[in-house]
Chains A and B, each alone.
Chain A
Amino acid sequence: MSHQIENSRGLRSQLKDSVPVAGLCPQAGPYGVQDTLRRGFSSVKNELLPSHPLELSEKNFQLNQDKLNFTTLRNIQGLHAPLKLQMEYRAARQIQRLPFLPSSNLALDTLRGTDETIGFEDILNDPAQCELMGEPHIMTEYKLGLL
């Protein structure tokens, strides 16, 4: 493994337009401790350092690509082009089903061009096979602000 990246944070800081990573802290379960069954093992090292050199770059890969494309588009065509596209993205992202059902995101995929590509996110981790299930009533109430 002679080609491993020594300092992934150093590589990332060289990309001026990259999106900063929010943090690797796990989400707390109901008792304030990490839910091991659902989220996996926890250790202090895993919360501070990435467990894999690719974790940081993969976490925000799509966002970084979008940022790169929008910056290029702005330089070529002017500010209006990325603004219009981002407005369309925002509108398409609002078309969702009820919170506990999986949405197809068809409009968003068409805008992004991912309806004509197949990647690992289409093959692996199918939301229909997900082991977690939300409580439908509670989720709808939370979304409508009734809780």
Chain B
Amino acid sequence: NNENDDDHDGFQPVLFVSLCRNTLLEANVAKLGCSLPPARKTGTTICGVVYKDGVVLGADTRATEGMVVADKNCSKIHYISPNIYCCGAGTAADTEMTTQLISSNLELHSLSTNRLPRVATANRMLKQMLFRYQGYIGAALVLGGVDCNGPHLYSIYPHGSTDKLPYVTMGSGSLAAMAVFEDRFKPNMEEEEAKQLVRDAIAAGIFNDLGSGSNIDLCVITKGKVDYLRPHDEANKKGVRTGDYKYKHGTTGVLTKQVTTLQLEVMDESVQTMDTS
């Protein structure tokens, strides 16, 4: 029973053996006529805008699993560092793990350099990791933050390409949100104007795309301050029942009333103590 001691290679053979087992399972299950459950995705609308003092990020809150809503109020704006936040679209597990991994790495890096981390560093780390896995990690991200060089906004695609722009949208509702941005974006907006614009863009995605829904979350990042507004706007409130099927008292008229008392005698009395130890 001789174990070869490769220091870091123990990870690799096991990874791809699971893949063989999964393909075999899928083939067998398909013979029976059913299918394996689909991965939970965040069919999403996420967007970001650079305004005068910083960055506003917005996201909806619906997570879907195939054609079913898996989570009516999930949080898609992930923490990366005190001055950097990231919205994630695509496979929910991928965005969650990727942002957590990069957040940890960025924290270690910032401890090592003794400086506040920069948005470009987070962008570079994310794009290098996503390119290494050639798009198999399904994470489309909108990364925004304020560092020593001012406010920055990046969009990162699952294959590893990035864009640095003043306004970006991602997800299945990105076209609806981009339509709003293209119409009303101006450089150097005020904070309230920027928040209203992002809110309207996410609302456009929520009402025009099936994969997005529920509430609108906003995250306003300025130099030294972060406002995480969850929820900023409950666009889709669950309805309140207006009618009631119960009959009111007095609906049926009483004709006669007769009272019969039951004769009961005490036959036997016994006490059983409970075991409360």
Residues of A in contact with B (beta carbons under 8 Å apart): 3, 5, 39-41, 43, 46, 50-55, 57-59, 61-62, 93, 96, 99-100, 103, 105, 108, 116-121, 123-125, 127, 130, 132, 134-135, 138-139, 142
Cβ-defined partner of B104 (8 Å) among A41, A96, A118, A134: A118
Q: Of A116, A132, A138, A142, which contacts B108 at CB under 8 A? A: A116
Within 8 Å by CB of B1, from A61, A62, A116, A138, lies A138
A residues less than 8 Å from B14 (CB atoms)? 125
Q: Which residues of A contact B12 (CB under 8 A)?
A: 58-59
Among A39, A119, A134, the most chain B Cβ lie within 10 Å of the Cβ of A119
Knowing A41-B20, A117-B108 touch, does A3 contact B159 (C-beta < 8 A)?
yes
Question: A87 CB to closest chain B CB, in angstroms?
Answer: 17
A contact residues around B21 at 8 Å (CB): 40-41
Q: Which residues of A lie under 8 Å from residue B136 when comparing CB positions?
A: 54
Shortest Cβ distance from residue A35 to the other chain B in the assembled complex, whole angstroms: 11
Whether A99 and B3, one on each chain, are in contact in the complex, defined by CB atoms closer than 8 angstroms, is yes
Give B125's nearest chain A residue, CB to CB.
A117
Residues of A within 8 A of B112 (CB): 116
Q: Is the CB of A135 within 8 A of B1?
A: yes
Closest to A116 in B: B108
Indicate if B5 sits at the interface (CB-CB under 8 A).
yes
- B108:A51 contact, CB within 8 angstroms: no
How many A-B pairs have beta carbons closer than 8 Å: the answer is 75
B20 A121 Cβ-Cβ under 8 A = no
Q: Contacts of B134 on A, CB cut-off 8 Å?
A: 3, 5, 53-54, 57
Q: Name the residue of chain A whose CB is nearest to the CB of B4.
A: A27
- CB within 8 Å of A: which of B92-121? 101, 104-105, 108-109, 112
Q: In chain A, what residue has the closest Cβ to B133?
A: A54
Given known contacts A54-B136, A121-B8, A139-B1, what 12 new A-B pairs fall within 8 Å (CB)?
A40-B20, A41-B20, A41-B21, A43-B20, A51-B19, A52-B16, A52-B19, A119-B101, A132-B3, A134-B3, A138-B1, A139-B2
The smallest beta-carbon distance between B169 and chain A, in angstroms, is 21
| Chain B neighbourhood of A120, CB < 8 A | 11, 101
Q: Give the shortest distance, in Å, between B21 (CB) and chain A (any CB).
A: 6
B10 lies within 8 A of chain A by Cβ = yes
| Neighbouring B residues of A59 by C-beta, 8 Å | 12
Contacts of B133 in A (CB 8 A): 54
Bound complex: CA of A132 vs CA of B24, how far in Å? Answer: 23
Tell me, rounded to whole Å, the shortest Cβ–Cβ distance linking B217 to chain A. 27
In the complex, what's the smallest C-beta–C-beta distance from A67 to chain B, in angstroms? 15
**B37, CB-defined interface residue at 8 Å:** no
Question: CA separation between A40 and B24, bound complex, in Å?
Answer: 11
Min distance, Cβ B229 to any Cβ of chain A, angstroms: 30
Alpha-carbon gap, A53 to B134, bound state (A): 9
